[in-house]
Amino acid sequence: MEASNRYPVATPGSIRLSELSARVSRAIEEAFSYTSFWVIADVTNHTYKSQKDYHYFELVEKAEGTSVLLAKFSGSAWGTGSQKIAEFEKATGQRFTGGLNVLVKVTVKYQAAYGLQLTLQDIDINFTLGVLEQQRQATLLRLVRDNPEHIRIEDGRLKTSNQGLVLNRVIQRIAVISSSTSAGFQDFQHTLENNGWGYRFSVDPYFALIQGDHNAGQLVDKIVAVYQSGVAYDALVIIRGGGAQTDFLIFDHYAIARAIARFPIPVITGIGHQKNETLTDLAAHTATKTPTKAAEFIIAHNRGFEQELLQLQKNMVIKSQQLLSAENRKLSMIRTSLVNNTRSMITGHKDALVRNNQITINTTKSILYRHRTGLNNLYSKLSIQPKGMLYKHQAELSIICRNLKTFSNLYSKSQENKLSHYASLIKLMSPENILSKGFAIVKAKGKIRGNADGINLGEEITVILAKQQLVATVTSKENHDGTEFNI
Amino acid sequence: MTELNLTYEAAFEELSQIAKEIETESVSVDVLAEKVKRAAELVSFCQSKLKATETEVGKIISQMEQKTGEG
Amino acid sequence: MTELNLTYEAAFEELSQIAKEIETESVSVDVLAEKVKRAAELVSFCQSKLKATETEVGKIISQMEQKTGEG
Amino acid sequence: MTELNLTYEAAFEELSQIAKEIETESVSVDVLAEKVKRAAELVSFCQSKLKATETEVGKIISQMEQKTGEG
Amino acid sequence: MTELNLTYEAAFEELSQIAKEIETESVSVDVLAEKVKRAAELVSFCQSKLKATETEVGKIISQMEQKTGEG
Amino acid sequence: MTELNLTYEAAFEELSQIAKEIETESVSVDVLAEKVKRAAELVSFCQSKLKATETEVGKIISQMEQKTGEG
Amino acid sequence: MTELNLTYEAAFEELSQIAKEIETESVSVDVLAEKVKRAAELVSFCQSKLKATETEVGKIISQMEQKTGEG
């Protein structure tokens, strides 16, 4: 080596640096050649030489939560590595730059002149996306946590105050935040001005640099300026003007998302992002993909209003005509019913009169007929009943007469019978009759005797018979039992 | 005998009385004849009175019948 | 006899009474003739009254019929 | 007889009463003729009143029918 | 008869009342003729009033229909 | 008739009222003609008012359509 | 009518109100023409305002007011 010649031969116990370098180089080569490593590190001090497509940077690891360095390597990327970085930037929307936490595939290389260096072979897009997403989620959570009045999560979606605003019927006064150079703004203007319906708009541009995290403050200032202008804008449109694909990380910035979420005028975005929506899009009232789409949305909104107007007008015309024809029908119906009901009412009254008349006539006749019949009945009773009554009396009299005769006769006969009974009895009991039957009366001492008591022997008695009377003297006196005549 | 004021009623009454006495032999042979004689008189009185009445009633009734027949 | 104020009603009543007495022989022979005579009188009275009424009623009715015939 | 204020109603009522009395023979022979006479009068009165009413009503009704026929 | 202030309403009401009385025979023969006469008057009154109304209403209705025909 | 301040609304209301009264026959014959006359007037009024409105609305609509056709 | 400060918002609100009234037939015939006219004006106003710049709007409104003055 030519250079080594500049230094004297090493004193005993020392070697030349190049020798050491060669030994290190050898050791490293032995240990690390043909081996690559996936390492997680933070990128710092990044520079990019676009002419050569070279990236120079350092990879460091800090103690967690501090800035104390635990490890640090220089690194570079070119060729394949640069190509991977470009792919990475396109895919993530994140520039490969200082402060980025990455998972990279590196080979360790030692060059005597440059020292130990890591050469970037590949970069894990998904790791960074994960990190970015984590950052995004952290920002989102912070937004929700720190602004509960304006930002919250509903059904997994971000809900902001701005979204709660109602778009004016017509969007005509528009504030636009864009970068002055952006083609997007031109597109937006052009689309608005050349709408097919002749709608006119008033657009106030608020130009700002819209790229890089560090410009977030400026963008927020512009938003505030729109508010402070005092103009009654119908909408604030935020558009990103084409250009680098890596510009839109700014739209995940906390301050911007917060400002938009709380902004009192509906915000329409036309940022243009292929992957998931930025926090700005999520916070805005309406998110469209491109500035042209934003303009189209506004035109469609106004067109919707005009169509609504025309529809209302059309409905009104139809309804007015319907109303008038319904009114006509109602009127003619009422007229018809009036005529019919009047006629039927008069007919009804006529019928009622006839009915009353008939009742009067018919019933009167029947009343008179009934009375006549009743009178006749009474009359015939009167002409018949008295005769019967008199006849009955006559008959009764006759019966009494007959009875008088009959019972008088019976009475006389009965008396005659009684008398003749007594006559027979007397005849039977008369003394002449008794004596003629053989009985005799005995007289003693001039008295008729029924027994012999007091009659003494030798005494003279008189025995009287029917035709004669004998005088005799008692010669004997004996008792006899007298049963001889006991019948 | 035939008292002026004797009624059929009284006569019949007396007659019944005598008949009863005779029948029950509560009359002695002494008065029997007397009683029998009185009874005979009473029967005679009653019979004549009855006959008279019968005749009169017959007359009245026949008159009545005549009238009713007419009526 | 025929009292001035005698009604058919009363006459008939008395007549019925007499008839009943004779029927039940609760009349003495002494007054039988008299009673029969009274009965005959009452019959006569009732008959004449009946006849008179009949005649009058007949007259009224025939007048009525005449009228009704006309009517 | 025909009292001035007698109505058909009252007359008919009285007539019915008499007819009922005669029918149930609750009238004595003594007043029968009188009752029949009254009845005859009432019949006569009612008939004439009825006739008059009939005539008048008939006249009115025929007028009414004529009118109704026209109307 | 036809009182000056008599309305159809009142007349018809009275007529119905009379018809009802007659129908239920609660009208005596004494006033029947009178009632029938009144009824006849009321019928006549109502008919003429109705006829007048009908004529007038008919005129109005025909005018109305003519107008509608034109319109 | 057509009062100066009469509106279609009020006229139609009154007309409906009259129609209802006649339908339910709560109008007496005495005032029927009068009511029908008023109703005819109201119908006439409503018809002319309706016609006028129709014409005016038609005019506005045709102007509107012209404009919309242009726009 | 067309007030200087009329906004789309207010115009649309008024127009909707009119359309709704007409649709629910709560607009009387009396004011229908007037309402339709107003609606036509409101539509016209909104349309011209949509197609004009701010400076032109004043002109439109003053024109409209002139028309209304005439109308």
Task: Give the model confidence (pLDDT) of G14-55 as tens digits.
Answer: 999 999 998 888 888 899 999 999 998 899 889 888 988 766
Query: Taking 70 as the threshold, does the pLDDT of residue B69 lie above it?
Result: no
* Chain F environment of G37 (Cβ under 8 Å): 56, 60
CB proximity list for A71: less than 8 A, separation 6 or greater:
A41, A60, A61
CB proximity list for A30: less than 8 A, separation 6 or greater:
none
> Which CATH number is A17-123 given?
2.40.50.140
Where exactly are the structural domains of chain A? Answer: 17-123, 134-304, 435-473
Please report the pLDDT score of residue A54 as a whole number: 93
The nearest CA of chain G is from the CA of F49 a distance in Å of: 8
Burial A219-236 (b: 16+ CB within 10 A, else e): bbebbeebbeeeeebbbb
* Chain A environment of E16 (Cβ under 8 Å): 352, 356
Of B57, A54, G55, A303, nearest in space to C27 by CA: B57
Query: Taking 80 as the threshold, does the pLDDT of residue G10 lie above it?
Result: yes
Q: ipTM of this predicted complex?
A: 0.72
Contact across the interface for E37 and D49, Cβ inside 8 Å = no
The yes-or-no reply on F/E contact (3 CB pairs or more, < 8 Å) is yes
Please report the pLDDT score of residue A2 as a whole number: 46
What percentage of chain F has pLDDT greater than the value 90? 66
Query: Taking 80 as the threshold, does the pLDDT of residue E46 lie above it?
Result: yes
* D60–chain E Cβ distance below 8 A for any pair: yes
Q: Which residue has the higher pLDDT, A472 or B68?
A: A472
CB atoms within 10 A of CB D38: 16
The E-side interface with A (CB below 8 A) comprises 12, 15-16, 18-19, 22-23, 25, 27, 29, 32, 36, 39-40, 43, 46-47, 50, 53-54, 57, 61, 64-65, 68
Query: Taking 50 as the threshold, does the pLDDT of residue B71 lie above it?
Result: no
Considering only alpha carbons, which residue of chain A is nearest residue C26? Answer: A411
Please report the pLDDT score of residue G12 as a whole number: 92
* Chain E environment of F43 (Cβ under 8 Å): 64, 68
Alpha helix stretches (DSSP H) within D1-71? 8-23, 29-70
Candidates F53, F67, F68: best to mutate against G (most CBs of G within 10 A) is: F53
Between CA C58 and CA C64, with CA C62 as vertex, the angle to 5 degrees is 120
Candidates F13, F15, F17: best to mutate against A (most CBs of A within 10 A) is: F15
Contact across the interface for D49 and E29, Cβ inside 8 Å = yes
Contact across the interface for G8 and A170, Cβ inside 8 Å = yes
Contact across the interface for E61 and A332, Cβ inside 8 Å = no
Please report the pLDDT score of residue A241 as a whole number: 65
- Please name the member of C22, C29, C47 whose beta carbon is closest to the beta carbon of A404: C22
Least confident of A215-224, B21-30, B33-42: B21-30
Question: Cα(first)–Cα(last) distance of chain G, in Å?
Answer: 11
Query: Taking 60 as the threshold, does the pLDDT of residue D71 lie above it?
Result: no
Please give the Cα distance from E57 to F27 (Å, whole number): 14
- Please name the member of F33, F44, F47 whose beta carbon is closest to the beta carbon of E56: F33
Contact across the interface for G50 and A199, Cβ inside 8 Å = yes
Q: Which residues of chain A are modeled with pLDDT < 70?
A: 1-10, 211-213, 241-248, 273-276, 482-487
Query: Taking 50 as the threshold, does the pLDDT of residue E53 lie above it?
Result: yes
Please give the Cα distance from A435 to A442 (Å, whole number): 12
What pLDDT digit, counting tens, does each position of F38-71 carry? 999 999 999 999 999 999 999 988 887 776 655 4
Q: Tell me the CA distances in angstroms from A282 to A248, A256, A286, one per residue in order.
A: 14, 11, 8
The nearest CA of chain F is from the CA of G15 a distance in Å of: 14
* G70–chain F Cβ distance below 8 A for any pair: no
Please report the pLDDT score of residue A210 as a whole number: 75
Please report the pLDDT score of residue D35 as a whole number: 92
- Please name the member of F9, F56, F67 whose beta carbon is closest to the beta carbon of G28: F9
Please report the pLDDT score of residue A175 as a whole number: 95
List the subunits that have 3+ CB pairs under 8 angstroms with E. Answer: A, D, F
Region D55-59: mean pLDDT is 91
Please give the Cα distance from A275 to F41 (Å, whole number): 77
The per-residue pLDDT string of chain C (71 residues; one tens digit each, 9 = 90 and over) reads 456 688 999 999 999 999 999 999 888 889 999 999 999 999 999 999 999 999 999 998 888 877 766 54
Please report the pLDDT score of residue A432 as a whole number: 80
Considering only alpha carbons, which residue of chain B is nearest residue C52? Answer: B71
Contact across the interface for G39 and A324, Cβ inside 8 Å = no
Candidates A394, A403, A422: best to mutate against B (most CBs of B within 10 A) is: A422
Structure tokens at A36: 């690559």
Q: What single string gives the DSSP state of each residue in G4-70?
A: TT--HHHHHHHHHHHHHHHHTT-S-HHHHHHHHHHHHHHHHHHHHHHTS-HHHHHHHHHHHHHHHHH
- List the A173-178 sheet strands across, edge first: A202-207, A173-178, A235-239, A267-270, A286-288
Contact across the interface for G36 and F57, Cβ inside 8 Å = yes
Considering only alpha carbons, which residue of chain C is nearest residue A393? Answer: C50
Contact across the interface for F19 and A334, Cβ inside 8 Å = yes
Strands A173-178 and A235-239: parallel
* Chain F environment of E63 (Cβ under 8 Å): 40
Q: Give the number of beta-carbon pairs within 8 Å between A and B.
A: 62
Q: Which residue has the higher pLDDT, D35 or A64?
A: D35
The nearest CA of chain B is from the CA of C5 a distance in Å of: 23
Please report the pLDDT score of residue G55 as a whole number: 67
Least confident of A146-155, A477-486, B11-20, D47-56: A477-486
Question: Which amino acid, one-letter code, is at A346?
Answer: I
Please report the pLDDT score of residue A351 as a whole number: 92
Contact across the interface for D40 and C57, Cβ inside 8 Å = no
Q: Which fold has domain A134-304?
A: Rossmann fold (3.40.50)
* C37–chain B Cβ distance below 8 A for any pair: yes
Q: Give the number of beta-carbon pairs within 8 Å between A and G.
A: 72
